A and B are shown apart, each in its own frame.
Chain A
Amino acid sequence: MTHIDLKVKESKKISFWGSVISDFKRNQSIYALLIPAFIFCILFYYYPLFRGFIISIQDYALIGESSWAGLTHYKEILTDMDFWRSLKNTLVIGGGNLFFGFIIQVLLALLLNEVMQNKLKRFVQTIIYTPNLFSWVAISGIFISILAPDIGMVNMALKQMGLDTINFMTSEKWITAIFWFLNTWKTAGYGCIIYLAALTNIDPCLYEAARIDGAGRLKQVLHITIPGLYPTMKVVLMLNLIASLRMFSQSFILTNPSVVDKTEVVMTYTYKLGLQNFRMDYASAVAVVMLGIIGVLTLFYQFVVKKTER
């Protein structure tokens, strides 16, 4: 019995590799087209990753010979309060960006989908997409002046209402919310357009059938539109999750010393360690750990998604 099982397994193994080889032989010209892209990925993605890992287990010398450090830098991370602080900030800011961004993007797409006048629809789309074209430097300049404590629009309005002014950009109470708001404002249009594109793939017959069955607009949205968006939501959410954990520019540009405890994220911390303090080995270890965290969270997300699908 066991003998037969083994034979079966062996034959499967052979057939798998056999199929791979025969497929390769059959489509070698197509695979050849992949070679430049494959080389590009090896050179510019995987080699730097590997090199970064090697640096993380060395006492890296910018000039001259580097010595092996083993897991010293990884052990140091465990007791590095600045790392844990920046990781917490990454999760808080990134989590908020992900949550609010997702809600607003879907909501805007659903609302825009209900707009019947094409010109108005396009105009609104353009308006909400425009912030995505701004760099964080420009956004920082715009909002620092809008939120300025003396002549900023928001504080002028607060003064008019007889309320105390708020120094938003230096307030630890407010700064996280400001980050969430700015990121949501910037990315809303981009996500919205992806969802709108997905909405066009929903079969109109489904809406027609629902109308015949007496479903109103709200029920159509709840039972046809939103389920129709699920596949897109899953992909966009996963991409946004990764982007949130890798955030750099927003924190780098908008952080000032008074709120650094709330706004420094892992990527800016790594930048500071590696490129400003020349601790490339430790910075690489932090980057590798962060890569692991991103990997684990992404796998966990996929696991949850698959489970809910079942």
Chain B
Amino acid sequence: MGGYMKKFLALCMVTILTLGIVGCGADEAAKSENEGKQENKQTAEGTKNESEEVKEEPKQERPVKMLTAVVGGNDPDEMELWNQEAERLSGIQLEAVRVAGDEYDTKITTTLAAGEEIDILYMNTDIFEKLLPLNAFEPLTSRIEESEVLGNPEIIDPKEWERIRRDDGEIYAVFNKYEGGRLPLVRKDWLDQLGLDEPQDLDGYYDMLRAFTFNDPDGNGQDDTYGFTLKKTYDIQPFMGTKGLVDGYDVDENGQLFVPYATEEAIEVYDWLARLYAEGIMDPNFPTNGSSDCREMILTGRAGLMVYWDNWTGLFNDKALAEDPNTSFEIYGLEPPKGANGEGSITTGQDGLFTLLNYSDNKDWAFKFLEFYHTYEGNILSTLGIEGHDYTVEDGKYVLTEIGEQHSMDHGVVVAKSSQWVNPVKIPKNYEQSRDVVLNYGQPELINANSKAAEEIVDKFIIKAILGEITGEEAVASMQKELKGKGLID
């Protein structure tokens, strides 16, 4: 009896466990099936009226699935609202998933490796360059040329398309936004307080940063400020620009690939930065800083300058004004320092790109969504956000809600790529002036599949040079040796 009982109980347990496992799967399957049915039902209902008017209108079989790092709502709940708003405005069912932060690259890899059902994949240029040789992307050239939106030179400058056209003549991606560039953003109120003029060259910058550090620019009577805060070596390009050097890779007159930061021209700038560090003008935490640390330093009045995106000019000012409407805090974009020949440059942002995966069976609808994305309504969706949630329309005017103010008119896009885009709410303080600096001095960086690996090596020796552990000359020699050793430069 006891033996039978044991057997019976054991079999019951196994059955329950097995059913549990199978049940979960079944639940999921049933759930997705039901969702699918509901979606189809909704689609059918949604298109029923339309089909009565226009019989030939093609029916969307399933939602367009999009994976993105920047576009959409700021949390999962808002993401759902954003998807609904996208469908309301475009008439296209969308399931956008936003994976924020450093995990995004990993998500892309696993998505592709698993053959996950994704139609639109967002990525930065460096990832794009690595994935393009894998033939993962659908060529979009003819679609773009035939598109009333993307092919319209009044919306996107044809030069921009040419810039991302590949050697095979094809265009494989659609832009996300106007990327802007990283320029020196300065506490203008500190400049005014100390009676300083805008600096023009490295010496001028040195004098300004020294004054920010030692002349009590905030007038609180304490020695609690740094001239310059930065995140690793991410922010040194405007100073490198005095020697005609840009971020990333470059090609010399013989077609040889080289890293500008690893050339002898850079030595003088490394020694100049090391001097800032040695004299206590530079934030000594720069090797461990993240962007948020630097932003915090600026917002809390502990540093007077950081090199950052032009659109943050307005965001900084808006944040400070939101905290205290009477604040004297003012961020302003400076022109980069000029070299002996009057040359100066800043780095424009690498493109954020939307690609269509070539295994997608939903390419037509996916491309339609990308077309919509660059219309005025699409621009509103990616900047202001969701009507009734981020903004309301009163008497034809767009008014931000409290949530909308918090989101700073940024749902993946601060400034739309479209030449016709004008922010209907407000233009943030000093933003346009910063944008003009970027337009005047901006230079794109040359990115390839090895950019990240080269950057890691270069960063390592630049930091050592700034910390004074090695000289600028030794840093460049070490960079050259390691880059050549790994076949990262010709």
Binding site for B on A (CB under 8 A): 29-30, 32-33, 35-36, 61-64, 81, 144, 148-150, 167, 169-170, 256-258, 260-261, 274-278, 280
**In the complex, what residues of B have CB within 8 A of residue A170's CB?**
287-288, 463, 467
Q: Roughly how many angstroms separate A41 CA and B424 CA in the complex, as a whole number?
A: 57
CB within 8 A of A63: which of B11, B232, B283, B359?
Answer: B359
Is A277 in contact with B130, judged by CB distance below 8 angstroms?
Answer: yes
**In the complex, what residues of B have CB within 8 A of residue A64's CB?**
134-135
Shortest Cβ gap from A267 to chain B (Å):
14
Shortest Cβ gap from B368 to chain A (Å):
24
**In the complex, what residues of B have CB within 8 A of residue A35's CB?**
14, 18
Q: Tell me, yes or no, whether B406 is within 8 Å of chain A by CB.
A: no
**In the complex, what residues of A have CB within 8 A of residue B113's CB?**
62, 280
| 5 further interface pairs, Cβ-Cβ under 8 Å (given A36-B14, A150-B283, A170-B287) | A63-B135, A257-B287, A257-B459, A277-B453, A280-B109
Q: Tell me, yes or no, whether B80 is within 8 Å of chain A by CB.
A: no
Q: Roughly how many angstroms separate A61 CA and B136 CA in the complex, as a whole number?
A: 10
Is B109 in contact with A258, judged by CB distance below 8 angstroms?
Answer: no
Q: Roughly how many angstroms separate A280 CA and B467 CA in the complex, as a whole number?
A: 36
Q: Roughly how many angstroms separate A256 CA and B131 CA in the complex, as a whole number?
A: 26
CB within 8 A of B109: which of A62, A167, A260?
Answer: A62
Which B residues, 1 to 52, have Cβ-Cβ distances below 8 Å to chain A? Answer: 6-7, 10-11, 13-14, 17-18, 21
**In the complex, what residues of B have CB within 8 A of residue A258's CB?**
287, 459-460, 463-464, 467
Shortest Cβ gap from A217 to chain B (Å):
46
CB nearest to A152 among chain B residues: B285
Given known pairs A29-B7, A62-B134, the reply for A260 and B460 (CB within 8 Å) is: yes
Q: Tell me, yes or no, whether B395 is within 8 Å of chain A by CB.
A: no
Shortest Cβ gap from A166 to chain B (Å):
11
Q: Roughly how many angstroms separate A63 CA and B118 CA in the complex, as a whole number?
A: 13
Q: DSSP class of A's interface residues: helix, strand, loop or mixed?
A: helix
**In the complex, what residues of B have CB within 8 A of residue A169's CB?**
287-288
Q: Tell me, yes or no, whether B112 is within 8 Å of chain A by CB.
A: yes
CB nearest to B11 among chain A residues: A29
Q: Roughly how many angstroms separate A33 CA and B123 CA in the complex, as a whole number?
A: 46
Shortest Cβ gap from A89 to chain B (Å):
14
Q: Roughly how many angstroms separate A64 CA and B359 CA in the complex, as a whole number?
A: 10
**In the complex, what residues of A have CB within 8 A of residue B453's CB?**
277
Q: Tell me, yes or no, whether B481 is within 8 Å of chain A by CB.
A: no
Shortest Cβ gap from A165 to chain B (Å):
8
Shortest Cβ gap from A54 to chain B (Å):
13
**In the complex, what residues of A have CB within 8 A of residue B105's CB?**
275-276
Given known pairs A35-B14, A167-B467, A261-B460, the reply for A144 and B288 (CB within 8 Å) is: yes
Is A256 in contact with B134, judged by CB distance below 8 angstroms?
Answer: no
Is A149 in contact with B284, judged by CB distance below 8 angstroms?
Answer: yes
Is B112 in contact with A63, judged by CB distance below 8 angstroms?
Answer: yes
What are 26 contact pairs spanning A and B, CB under 8 A?
A: A29-B11, A33-B13, A62-B112, A62-B113, A63-B112, A63-B115, A63-B136, A63-B358, A81-B485, A149-B284, A150-B283, A150-B284, A167-B467, A169-B287, A169-B288, A170-B288, A256-B287, A256-B288, A256-B463, A257-B459, A257-B463, A258-B467, A275-B106, A277-B452, A280-B109, A280-B113
**In the complex, what residues of B have CB within 8 A of residue A275's CB?**
105-106, 109-110
**In the complex, what residues of B have CB within 8 A of residue A33's CB?**
10, 13-14
Contact with A along B417-438 (1 / 0, CB 8 A): 0000000000000000000000
CB nearest to B450 among chain A residues: A277
Q: Tell me, yes or no, whether B324 is within 8 Å of chain A by CB.
A: no
Contact with A along B371-401 (1 / 0, CB 8 A): 0000000000000000000000000000000
**In the complex, what residues of A have CB within 8 A of residue B18's CB?**
35-36
CB nearest to B6 among chain A residues: A29
**In the complex, what residues of B have CB within 8 A of residue A276's CB?**
105, 452
**In the complex, what residues of A have CB within 8 A of residue B284's CB?**
148-150, 167
**In the complex, what residues of A have CB within 8 A of residue B287's CB?**
167, 169-170, 256-258
Q: Tell me, yes or no, whether B167 is within 8 Å of chain A by CB.
A: no
Q: Roughly how many angstroms separate A119 CA and B287 CA in the complex, as a whole number?
A: 44
Shortest Cβ gap from B276 to chain A (Å):
14
Is B456 in contact with A260, judged by CB distance below 8 angstroms?
Answer: yes
**In the complex, what residues of A have CB within 8 A of residue B136's CB?**
62-63
CB nearest to B14 among chain A residues: A32
Is A32 in contact with B11, judged by CB distance below 8 angstroms?
Answer: yes
CB nearest to A264 among chain B residues: B456
**In the complex, what residues of A have CB within 8 A of residue B459's CB?**
257-258
Is A63 in contact with B134, judged by CB distance below 8 angstroms?
Answer: yes
Shortest Cβ gap from A139 to chain B (Å):
13
Shortest Cβ gap from B469 to chain A (Å):
8
**In the complex, what residues of A have CB within 8 A of residue B131's CB?**
62, 278
**In the complex, what residues of A have CB within 8 A of residue B130's CB?**
277-278
Shortest Cβ gap from A237 to chain B (Å):
33
Given known pairs A36-B17, A257-B287, the reply for A30 and B10 (CB within 8 Å) is: yes
**In the complex, what residues of A have CB within 8 A of residue B358's CB?**
63
Is B452 in contact with A150, judged by CB distance below 8 angstroms?
Answer: no
Contact with A along B460-472 (1 / 0, CB 8 A): 1001100100000
**In the complex, what residues of A have CB within 8 A of residue B13's CB?**
33
**In the complex, what residues of B have CB within 8 A of residue A62's CB?**
109, 112-113, 131, 134, 136
Given known pairs A29-B7, A33-B10, A62-B113, the reply for A256 and B232 (CB within 8 Å) is: yes
Contact with A along B203-238 (1 / 0, CB 8 A): 000000000000000000000000000001100000
